[in-house]
Structure 1
Amino acid sequence: MHSGRLLLVLGVVAAMAGVGAGAGCSDSRGIKDAVGAEPIARGEAPGYAETAAKYNQRVQRLDRLFARTIIRIDYEDPAAGGGASGEARHEQGDGTLQIIRPDRVALSLNKAGKRLFWFGADASRFWWFDLIDERVGMVAPHERYRQIMKSEVGLGEGGGGGVHPLDLVLLLGVVPLPSTGQTQWSSDGRLLGLTAAAREGGLQRVWVNPETFEPVKVELYEAGEQGDSPSRVQLVVVADLAGYEYVQIRGIGGGGPRVATRAAVSHTKTGTDLRLDLSEMEDGFGRMDERAFDFGALVKELAVERVIER
């Protein structure tokens, strides 16, 4: 079982957290001006409350999401290669993504018809199953995620401790924003940034199209270690979203909200890149099974031989 490798990969797959109002994210770093496009002169950015309300109206019907996925992961395996830098790895497969807000997530990765990994979370715990060789599962409380990432993957002091598993849904732009925060225009005036408080003192900045309020880029910042200044945050994950398509919603068909079909996620500490392509997006009524979010049921369903509790 490649536990360190898998945890590192999942640290990127699980991307998403929040943004704290006014805590050191005032610039538009990472936002590229549109090539060949003239900057748009803007006045003061609209207020956060009214902007977040429009964003939240867009995601109101996205409390459930089922999608087919193609997943590509490029990362460095610290357990391979024999050197300090490890060995470059590339993994690609297909699977399913299942989300029920606010706290249930299930993501599977298959290859050549064989299920390799299963990653998930509920309100209190996160887990993964490595089904390649020995069929092993690991489960732990959410509050231990950062500690586990650092101790087992080597994301030590100053490097960030990975990203909380439940925040994958926020990465995809399907979670309502908090009620308070700040707004700003990008340097070329084409995107509107919303910054709002997140779990564990972290920060998240969502850059949206000001006409549709669909996110184009999400930046995740992690708070410093205990004892650091509250304003000391570091960029951990950058996600670029594109290819918006309608989600089939029961009662309204295909004319409901849209979700990005392409998410390109980069983990700044490790250089790990994740590409997630979604298709056949719907609300999942009649397709999602509650057992997909039940650790005990999954242990039986996936014929897991050994469970590690952290």
Structure 2
Amino acid sequence: MIRYALLTVTAIAMFGCKNTGKIDVSKLPAPPSTQELAEAHNQRIAPLETLWARVSVRAKGTYDNGDPFEEQGEGHLQILMPDRVSLSIGKLGETYFVFGASPEQYWSFNLADSDRKLLLVGDMSKVTRVKAAALGLPVHPAELIALSGVAPVELSRAGGTQWRSDGKAYGFQSPTQWGSIVTWFDPSTGLVSQTQAFDEFGELIASAELTRYKDAAVSGALPVQVPGKIEITTPNDEGFIRIELSGPETREIRGIVFQPDRLQRNYRVDEVIDLDEALDEPAPATEPAP
């Protein structure tokens, strides 16, 4: 913590409130090592075996035909560390949308039309960008927790630290299934302030701004600070998804939350689309042997 404070004081002195020009990050003091950042982050979030919160969700963007849309709803975010997540959204007590992912599957329920309740589901081991895009996901479904800044960091896979180009954060890059993710930390707090996902060519595919941290209640332990506001954007798109958390805490999460087959029965789904059957390219035909 002393080092964080010294770095912050030095950075403020170098920027100055009156300095409006570009920051020369090469003149900033060396950031903490990857080991320092990762170990502090992992230790801080270690009590979060689960995370439950009520959420307010606002989404803005454009449909494929170019028409704009803006939607808002309330629901719940439920995470079972390290790799299970569920986000439900609705209005007036009715659930209209549910997204989820587990090590085995990923899924999306569209329940807005009571006459055609729809489930999209796929095998996590067979997920592709096309299939993820069918659910509106810019990143691999298994990496949404990391994008939200509450996933533990695998130190052995993380790269070296660097300052962000604006000099307001430092962080490191870690490999992902489809590229990499950069985790940026606020020098004044040591908390994750932004995550950025890149494809295998180094092109930015999604960013998440993590702000308004608040205490998540942990039974038998001190509270853990988690982002109170998560705003996800994609490049070349003026839209966003904004998730605001209230009442975050660790609590037991029912297993059914991560079991789409059981949820399908509970929601009385009318149609199930297997993304692996619908979107996999057929194998090339082979001619019979002579």
TM over 0.5: yes
What's the CA shift string for 1:32-72, capped at 9, x where partnerless? x9994767963222321222111211121123100000000
Select which of 122, 125, 135 maps to 1:140.
122
TM superposition shift of 1:222: 1.2
Please identify the structure whose Cα radius of gyration is greater.
2
User: Residue 181 of structure 1: SS of its match in structure 2?
Assistant: coil
TM superposition shift of 1:149: 4.4
TM-score, normalising length: structure 2: 0.80
In the alignment, which residue of structure 2 is the partner of 1:166?
A: 142
User: Residue 265 of structure 2: SS of its match in structure 1?
Assistant: helix
Structure 1 range deviating more: 234-243 or 262-271: 262-271
Number of residue-to-residue matches in the alignment: 252
CA contact (8 A) 1:221 1:237 kept: yes
Aligned partners of 2:38, 2:97: CA distance in 1, in Å? 35
User: Residue 251 of structure 2: SS of its match in structure 1?
Assistant: coil
State the AA in 1 paired with 2:151.
V
CA contact (8 A) 2:87 2:98 kept: yes
Percentage of pairs with the same residue: 29
Aligned partners of 1:297, 1:309: CA distance in 2, in Å? 16
Return 5+ residue gaps in structure 2 as ranges.
1-13, 276-290
State the AA in 1 paired with 2:274.
E
TM superposition shift of 1:209: 1.7
- Matches of residues 119-130 of structure 1 in structure 2 within 5 Å? 119-130=99-110
CA contact (8 A) 1:63 1:174 kept: no
Aligned partners of 1:305, 1:266: CA distance in 2, in Å? 32
Select which of 208, 220, 241 maps to 2:185.
208
Aligned partners of 1:209, 1:93: CA distance in 2, in Å? 30
What's the CA shift string for 1:249-268, capped at 9, x where partnerless? 0112xx32200101111111
TM-score, normalising length: structure 1: 0.75
Structure 1 range deviating more: 300-309 or 272-281: 300-309
Select which of 230, 243, 246 maps to 1:279.
246
TM superposition shift of 1:167: 2.0
TM superposition shift of 1:104: 1.1
What's the CA shift string for 1:138-172, capped at 9, x where partnerless? 1112232413246x58x9xxxxx821122221122
In the alignment, which residue of structure 2 is the partner of 1:114?
A: 94
TM superposition shift of 1:280: 0.7
Q: Residues 309 and 34 (structure 1 numbering): CA distance in 2 closer, same or farther, change over 3 Å?
A: farther
State the AA in 2 paired with 1:292.
V
Structure number having the greater helix percentage? 2
CA contact (8 A) 1:182 1:196 kept: no
TM superposition shift of 1:185: 1.9
Q: Residues 270 and 42 (structure 1 numbering): CA distance in 2 closer, same or farther, change over 3 Å?
A: closer
State the AA in 1 paired with 2:217.
Q
In the alignment, which residue of structure 2 is the partner of 1:11?
A: none
Question: Does 1:240 pair with 2:209?
Answer: yes
TM superposition shift of 1:211: 4.3
Select which of 87, 92, 101 maps to 2:72.
92
TM superposition shift of 1:136: 1.1
User: Residue 132 of structure 1: SS of its match in structure 2?
Assistant: coil
Return 5+ residue gaps in structure 1 as ranges.
1-32, 80-85, 156-160, 224-231
